[in-house]
Amino acid sequence: MLAVAAGHYWEGIDKAAHPWIGYAFSFRDGKESGRSRADDWPSDRVDAAKRILFRLPIGWAAWPKVRARIPTPVLG
């Protein structure tokens, strides 16, 4: 989860006739990756993923940083 939030996660589908779907992420202690044939997935899901993933730069962007909201105690 932290690798995703920090922007260290990648997903991709190559543009071959029989494409591979792949993923990779890195974290403090190493990295992990894998892939499978797109034929193993429902075609509607692959098509939807292609529309998104082909527009992305390499990897997903890190989640935006936000300041934590600490409730102010009510005195009195």
pLDDT tens-digit map of 45-66: 999 988 888 887 776 777 777 7
Identify the pLDDT of residue 68: 67
Whole-angstrom Cα distance, residue 69 to residue 67?
6
Query: For 6, which DSSP code?
Result: T
Between the two ends of the chain, the Cα-to-Cα distance in Å is 41
Whole-angstrom Cα distance, residue 42 to residue 72?
50
Q: What are the residue ranges spanned by the domains of the chain?
A: 1-34
Quick check: helix, strand or coil at residue 47? helix
Query: For 59, which DSSP code?
Result: S
Which helix (H) or strand (E) element contains residue 69? none
What's this model's pTM, rounded to 2 decimal places? 0.64
